Structure 1
Amino acid sequence: MVNTSAVSVKNLSKIYNIYNEPSDRLKEVLNPFRKSYHSKFYAIDNLSLDIKRGETVGLIGKNGAGKSTLLKIITGVLTPTFGEVKVNGKIASLLELGAGFNPEMSGIENIYLNGTIMGYTKMQMDKRIDAIITFADIGNFIYQPVKMYSSGMFARLAFSVAINVDPDILIIDEALSVGDMAFQNKCFERMNDFIKSDKSILFVSHSLSAIRLLCDKVAWIESGKLIEYGDTKSVTRNYERATYSSSNQCGIKREAKRVPQLESGLIKDRVKSLGEKTSSEECYFSDIALRNSKEGHSNFTTFSDITLEMLICSYLPHETDIGLGVAITRQDGLEVSRVNNIRDDKPITLKPGYTKVSLSFPKLSLLDGEYFLSFFLSHANLLQSFHKIENLIQVSITTPYAQCGWKVSEGVTALTHNWDINT
């Protein structure tokens, strides 16, 4: 019978003896009656888990829940107190940042060192070295001692080594959180390729968006115990509910009768019910208003100043960078423009609760026609969509006439231009 398990954990426990004073260790050893001076701490408590080949499994839980300890036992860094771990295949891991690197050695030398640790010969690493250097993309720093590296450069090199040594199981413990957005996106793309090759990934992250994006299953661990293991959507939803009920980190309650609304905004329930959003409703448009200091309604003239106000509700238990976009589409389906805070280099960080964002279009140069406004809310990496509402607001634009009796312009938009006439 073919073994389909990549990692099998059975009745695993890791127990540490906790002493109140350093001298208690000596007292315990020398005590003739074998008196105990310690208490037991279960970092892992009778945990069982089975990860199949080709599965991507996320580990979630609070800090100190036991996630990192479990990964260290699986990779052989720690030995269990009780239980057993069976691993079928070669493991590459990113545990603590810089782990497995000699700070005095250069990046190149550390690549070969890690290859040797994983059982590769120098000739085998010679075939992989170019791909590793190219993916890491840290320039001439590859020839410098890694003690000079920033945390982001460490992450780049460590991930590049791990993903390019052709492991059967890839283990990542929050190491990518220090990388920049472009590198994180490149890592996620490579991890997707890794998944398609029927290999396994164990991924620890506090970003539920990243967990939902990558993982087939999720294991929720608290106080060293496995609380739930199963479908990603179900487990992350239950984890969020437990997090919100145990503390008021969000500063708001889902059951609250009174929530903020924008003056002259769209009805909250209508906005919330429209469009596509995550099933957990962790982040969504709560209200949207169209403002104009002169007209105050959806009929405008070319070159009017138009302002949109968006009220965003976040139930995420931590600050989150988001991508917020607005698209303007003509009635015939032509997309006239799409703006996004990421492209505009205007970062938006949501805190748990409600955040109001304003977007202004000074002297909007659209010409005669009916236009529709669509709204898009996503994680800042643009890989995870939170809420999308298409054609929510209809705007009528009327183009004024020039003194000659013609419209001031024709087409889609009135371009800014100057005439220079020499006689």
Structure 2
Amino acid sequence: MEVREQENAISVRDVTKVYRLYDKPIDRLKESMSISHKNYHRDFYALSGLSFQVKKGETVGIIGTNGSGKSTILKIITGVLTPTTGQVDVNGKISALLELGAGFNMDYTGIENIYMNGTMMGYTKKEMDAKLQDILDFAEIGDFVYQPVKTYSSGMFVRLAFALAINVDPEILIVDEALSVGDVFFQSKCYRRMEEIRKKGTTILMVTHDMGSIIKYCDRVVLLHKGEFIAEGPAGKVVDMYKKILAGKLEELKAELAAGVHKTDQQSGTEDDLSDFSGGMDVDGLVDAQLAKKTFLDNHESAGTTNQHPKGLMRDQMTINSDRTEYGDGRAEIYDLGLLDARGNITNLLLKGEMFTIRECIRFHADIQSPIFTYTIKDKKGTELTGTNTMFEGADIQPMKKGEEYVVEFTQKMTLQGGEYLLSMSCTGFEAGEHTVYHRLYDVTNITVISNKNTVGVYDMESQVKAEKRKADE
């Protein structure tokens, strides 16, 4: 038994958390002064007899509807709350992404807060000295790190807090809906860093409503509902169970579990299983998208349908990722790029269902016999969603001489769901049978897709629906 306990990074045993709820503030005083010990409160069970273990090196997700106790158990594990009954054992140094920046002193500078929080986590000044540059590089807030954090924008604040928590090499990382901070480039970097530390063997316990992240990262998932443990097992299986709860079929699910219908010893689900979800955009997001689409069309109506943009580089009119990855042997250079909407405007904002163009301008610094031009669109977790190149498309690309240029356009219909995506592009080729990269730009810019109708998954099949009502005798 002792050996098995040592394999666990986190052990939660029969944990219950009860809150006393009073109808009126005065009732609390009445109860404390009651000679007969009369109760003026009612008990609310945020958690009820919860037990589960997280093995060292595992990535475990906790899912459930709002009010199921997910954040409560994370706060108990990190020591922010104490359980009413039960026990939690933690074997390892924890870094928690709960309420980002909750431990910051607003009058201290960013640097001072880094060292103060490092001390609170148990690191020496020498250890924090070694980690400081990685934290600053990740946060990308420049000289503001020497200013009091009360002068920061909300974006700078959460970037520094996230950079600190995720770059201290924790043995256990606790994440509560924290991967949605910053812009799409920063979120992409956060996901890459999460993947890096996961591969290093860091134990990760995460709470999120993003089922794509749950299936992508989690080895195992725990399902809660109103403070009660429902099930645990492989991500796909448990996400299917969660979908039943969302559909109001909790009792049916409990009956199936009692009968052994759901066997969670094998991974069965993939991201394709998420058939009850709306493509990652909630109701508020849908309303925002409708408003944004109207504003977009209003602002661009006067532009007409011709490609009327100012002279100069297209990239100067777009959001370009300063943290992009860029490499190649330098014999070709993608010196300009742009996204053009259906009206020919250069923009990062595209409407779902409309045609758009990816334009690349390439200058050659050496003779190249058979160049290939590419693009790839990824989500912010780094998953490649779509892309193509001139070789796949059978384009007639001529040999290039030093000093010559190519302008390449890929035109297609936007069928991705509303959301944020990342665009990569490259100029490559094959020489003596070997793949050669002349210039590659990873995550060079973002694509924001505006939609007032999201379907399931990452793209829209554009289904045509026909429904005909018939009488019973027909």
TM-score class, shorter-chain normalisation, is 0.5 to 0.7
- Determine if the alignment matches structure 1 residue 198 to structure 2 residue 179: no
Q: Distance in 2 between matches of 1:146 and 1:64?
A: 32
- Determine if the alignment matches structure 1 residue 29 to structure 2 residue 28: no
Q: Distance in 1 between matches of 2:204 and 2:275?
A: 27
335, 350, 353: which is aligned to 1:357? 353
- Determine if the alignment matches structure 1 residue 278 to structure 2 residue 278: no
- Contact 1:28–1:36 (8 Å) recurs in 2: yes
- Contact 2:339–2:348 (8 Å) recurs in 1: no
What corresponds to 1:56 in structure 2?
A: 59
**In the TM superposition, what is the alpha-carbon distance from 1:85 to its structure 2 partner?**
0.2
CA shift in 2, pair 1:340/1:280, >3 Å: farther
- Determine if the alignment matches structure 1 residue 67 to structure 2 residue 70: yes
Instruction: Give 1:141-152 correspondences, 5 Å limit.
Output: 141-152=144-155
**In the TM superposition, what is the alpha-carbon distance from 1:89 to its structure 2 partner?**
0.4
**SS of equivalent residue, structure 2 residue 353:** strand
- Determine if the alignment matches structure 1 residue 213 to structure 2 residue 213: no
Q: Distance in 1 between matches of 2:236 and 2:172?
A: 23
**In the TM superposition, what is the alpha-carbon distance from 1:164 to its structure 2 partner?**
2.1
- Determine if the alignment matches structure 1 residue 381 to structure 2 residue 375: no
Q: Alpha carbon RMSD of aligned pairs, Å?
A: 3.7
Q: Which amino acid in structure 2 is aligned with residue 381 of structure 1?
A: K
What corresponds to 2:141 in structure 1?
A: 138
| TM-score normalised according to structure 1 size | 0.64
- Contact 1:209–1:384 (8 Å) recurs in 2: no
Alpha-carbon displacement from aligned partner over 1:93-119 (angstroms, at most 9, x marks no partner): 111132111111111000000111011
CA shift in 2, pair 1:177/1:11, >3 Å: same
Q: Which amino acid in structure 1 is aligned with residue 353 of structure 2?
A: V
CA shift in 2, pair 1:155/1:28, >3 Å: same
- Determine if the alignment matches structure 1 residue 240 to structure 2 residue 243: yes
Q: Distance in 1 between matches of 2:86 and 2:340?
A: 51
Q: Distance in 2 between matches of 1:347 and 1:359?
A: 9
CA shift in 2, pair 1:194/1:411, >3 Å: closer
What corresponds to 2:313 in structure 1?
A: none
Unaligned runs of 5+ in 2: 251-269, 290-337, 358-375, 399-405, 408-474
Alpha-carbon displacement from aligned partner over 1:370-393 (angstroms, at most 9, x marks no partner): xxxxxx9x884263578x799xxx
**SS of equivalent residue, structure 1 residue 278:** helix
Q: Distance in 1 between matches of 2:175 and 2:40?
A: 37
Question: Percent of pairs identical after alignment?
Answer: 45
**In the TM superposition, what is the alpha-carbon distance from 1:75 to its structure 2 partner?**
0.5
Alpha-carbon displacement from aligned partner over 1:37-65 (angstroms, at most 9, x marks no partner): 00001111111110011111112222222
Q: Which amino acid in structure 1 is aligned with residue 130 of structure 2?
A: K
**In the TM superposition, what is the alpha-carbon distance from 1:163 to its structure 2 partner?**
2.1
**SS of equivalent residue, structure 1 residue 10:** strand
Instruction: Give 1:274-423 correspondences, 5 Å limit.
Output: 278-281=272-275, 314=279, 318=283, 319=285, 345-347=348-350, 357-359=353-355, 380-381=379-380, 383-384=382-383, 411=396
- Determine if the alignment matches structure 1 residue 118 to structure 2 residue 112: no
Q: Distance in 2 between matches of 1:180 and 1:11?
A: 40
**SS of equivalent residue, structure 1 residue 18:** strand
**In the TM superposition, what is the alpha-carbon distance from 1:178 to its structure 2 partner?**
2.5
Q: Greater strand share, 1 or 2?
A: 1
CA shift in 2, pair 1:115/1:382, >3 Å: closer
Q: Which amino acid in structure 2 is aligned with residue 383 of structure 1?
A: G
What corresponds to 2:100 in structure 1?
A: 97
Aligned residues: 306
- Contact 1:43–1:224 (8 Å) recurs in 2: yes
Q: Distance in 1 between matches of 2:271 and 2:116?
A: 46
**In the TM superposition, what is the alpha-carbon distance from 1:176 to its structure 2 partner?**
2.5
- Contact 2:179–2:191 (8 Å) recurs in 1: no
CA shift in 2, pair 1:134/1:232, >3 Å: same
Q: Distance in 2 between matches of 1:384 and 1:346?
A: 20
Larger deviation, residues 191-200 vs 11-20: 191-200
Q: Which amino acid in structure 1 is aligned with residue 382 of structure 2?
A: L
What corresponds to 1:80 in structure 2?
A: 83
Q: Distance in 2 between matches of 1:50 and 1:175?
A: 22
| TM-score normalised according to structure 2 size | 0.58
Q: Distance in 1 between matches of 2:105 and 2:9?
A: 29
CA shift in 2, pair 1:105/1:389, >3 Å: closer
**In the TM superposition, what is the alpha-carbon distance from 1:185 to its structure 2 partner?**
1.1
CA shift in 2, pair 1:201/1:29, >3 Å: same
CA shift in 2, pair 1:340/1:74, >3 Å: farther
Unaligned runs of 5+ in 1: 248-275, 284-312, 323-337, 349-355, 362-375, 398-409, 417-423
**In the TM superposition, what is the alpha-carbon distance from 1:72 to its structure 2 partner?**
0.7
Q: Which amino acid in structure 2 is aligned with residue 182 of structure 1?
A: F
CA shift in 2, pair 1:412/1:198, >3 Å: closer
**In the TM superposition, what is the alpha-carbon distance from 1:66 to its structure 2 partner?**
1.3
Q: Which amino acid in structure 2 is aligned with residue 280 of structure 1?
A: L
Q: Which amino acid in structure 2 is aligned with residue 177 of structure 1?
A: S
Q: Distance in 2 between matches of 1:64 and 1:149?
A: 32
- Contact 2:339–2:356 (8 Å) recurs in 1: no
**SS of equivalent residue, structure 2 residue 206:** strand
**In the TM superposition, what is the alpha-carbon distance from 1:11 to its structure 2 partner?**
0.4
- Contact 1:169–1:201 (8 Å) recurs in 2: yes
**In the TM superposition, what is the alpha-carbon distance from 1:317 to its structure 2 partner?**
5.2
Q: Which amino acid in structure 2 is aligned with residue 279 of structure 1?
A: D
